[in-house]
Amino acid sequence: MATTERQGRKSRSTSARKAADRAKANGKEAGQPPRVKNDALLDLYRKMVEVRLFEDAAQRGFRTGKIGGYLHVYSGQEAVATGFLHEYREGDRIITAYRDHAHALLLGSEPKAVMAELYGKGTGLVKGKGGSMHLFDVANGFMGGYGIVGGHIPLGVGMAYSLAYRKTGGIVQLFLGDGAIHNGAFHEAANLAGLWGRDGLNPTLFVIENNQYGMGTSVERSTAMTDLGSKFDSYGIEHEKVDGMDLEAVLDCAHRAAERVRESGKPFAVEALTYRLVPHGAADFLEKYRTKEEIREWRQRDPIGLLERTLLERDAADEDALKAIRETAKARSDEAVQFADESPDPDLTELTTDVYAGEMHVPAAGSGIGE
């Protein structure tokens, strides 16, 4: 099948290749028919391109000073969130860290509102209060982006308990990085998930976005046990690996995993092997921790490029159709930028709202005299 052929073309044994092989050994079985039909696949291609172009625009916004603070983009990892969030059902809850733009967009947040948030405008997804790291869209199931590594993991496990307790039928998809897994919060929360899941009270689907690095520290330099899925063994949680650059493989794995979590009320974990094709944050320019060659090798496995080849090979689309999709996506991201740029700053009264529910006087900056 297509994946095998694609891999056959590359003969060098690269880290990118090894990651794919490692995933294959555990992941989808050969010879299965594709789970998603061609037109649906084309639609997912459109989503991935929209995410990529949105991120490109965000990086430009950062470079031109329109976006402040930290900006972490998802470029290279699109197939992971796209594949997993394809399993999103109403009533589910999604939670991730600060690399969160893709998750919001894929769950249906308006690109305009997301870009406006990055621009710190009053029309932003969270009124300009949170910025890039704290996107929230509760109506679409998105329980947020969080800035403290590992800090969101216990929250996701608690949400899963709540969904099961209230018999909602929903599950939690809890995304976390390879770096976050070494944090105490992960281990405490994973233990709780395993424990509560024994009684069907923890429908958490852990998705490890293993992009090989936490900032400048590789997985190998972070732990003596680099098989990250195995961390879940200690907590009685089953797990598998998937090639996170291959959308079809992710779709297949995500489907099985989500079904199983939904039916059993027990947690399950997937380690998606992927790669950040961009620096950790938009402000980082030195990348002393990895080589240009490595980045080049992984670029060969850019999830969008791989999917394009599949679509063409299957005659699901021709070059013109793909180009049209890219152009429409570009127009959408341009629109988002224009909207963000033209939107007003948040009203200054917003400074002191949302600190508590309801009315409570919040002193402004300064001396508090004469207020």
Ligand X SMILES: Cc1ncc(C[n+]2csc(CCOP(=O)(O)OP(=O)(O)O)c2C)c(N)n1
Is the C-alpha dihedral spanning 117, 103, 142, 335 positive or negative? Answer: positive
The tokens for 229 are 């899925």
Q: Does 211 participate in binding ligand X (rule CB under 6 A)? A: yes
Nearer to Mg ion, 123 or 211 (CB): 211
Among 212, 221, 253, 247, residue whose Cα is nearest residue 19: 212
Within its chain, how far is the Cα of 331 from the centroid?
Answer: 23
Site string for ligand X, 92-111 (x = CB under 6 A): -------x------------
Shortest Å distance, C-beta 234 to another protein: 16
Nearer to Mg ion, 197 or 214 (CB): 214
From the list another protein, Mg ion, ligand X, none, partner contacted by residue 9 (C-beta under 5 to 8 A by kind): none
Shortest Å distance, C-beta 217 to ligand X: 8
Burial 80-96 (b: 16+ CB within 10 A, else e): bbbbbbbbbeeebbbbb
Tell me how many degrees the CA angle 206-45-125 measures, rounded to the nearest 5.
Answer: 65
Among 247, 269, 92, residue whose Cα is nearest residue 180: 269
From the list ligand X, another protein, Mg ion, none, partner contacted by residue 96 (C-beta under 5 to 8 A by kind): none
Dist. CA 89–CA 18, nearest whole Å: 33
Dist. CA 228–CA 241, nearest whole Å: 9
Dist. CA 203–CA 161, nearest whole Å: 7
From the list ligand X, another protein, Mg ion, none, partner contacted by residue 364 (C-beta under 5 to 8 A by kind): another protein
Q: Does 306 participate in binding ligand X (rule CB under 6 A)? A: no
Helix (H) / strand (E) element for 175: namely: strand 172-177
Residues of this chain, 188-227, that bind Mg ion according to CB under 5 A: 211, 214
Binding site for another protein (CB under 8 A): 68-70, 117, 120-122, 124, 128-131, 133-134, 146-151, 179-180, 182-185, 214-217, 221-223, 286, 288-289, 345-346, 348, 350-352, 355, 361-371
Shortest Å distance, C-beta 207 to ligand X: 12
Site string for ligand X, 176-205 (x = CB under 6 A): -xxxx-------------------------
Shortest Å distance, C-beta 70 to ligand X: 8
From the list another protein, Mg ion, ligand X, none, partner contacted by residue 131 (C-beta under 5 to 8 A by kind): another protein
Dist. CA 164–CA 42, nearest whole Å: 34
The site for Mg ion, by CB under 5 A, has a size of: 5
Please choose, out of 62-70, 133-141, 173-181, 363-371, the segment that lies near Mg ion by the rule CB under 5 A.
173-181
In the set 130, 177, 194, 265, which binds Mg ion (CB under 5 A)?
Answer: 177
Tell me how many degrees the CA angle 202-205-207 measures, rounded to the nearest 5.
Answer: 145
| Cβ partners under 8 Å of residue 125, min gap 6 | 104, 109, 110, 113, 114, 116, 117, 135, 136, 137
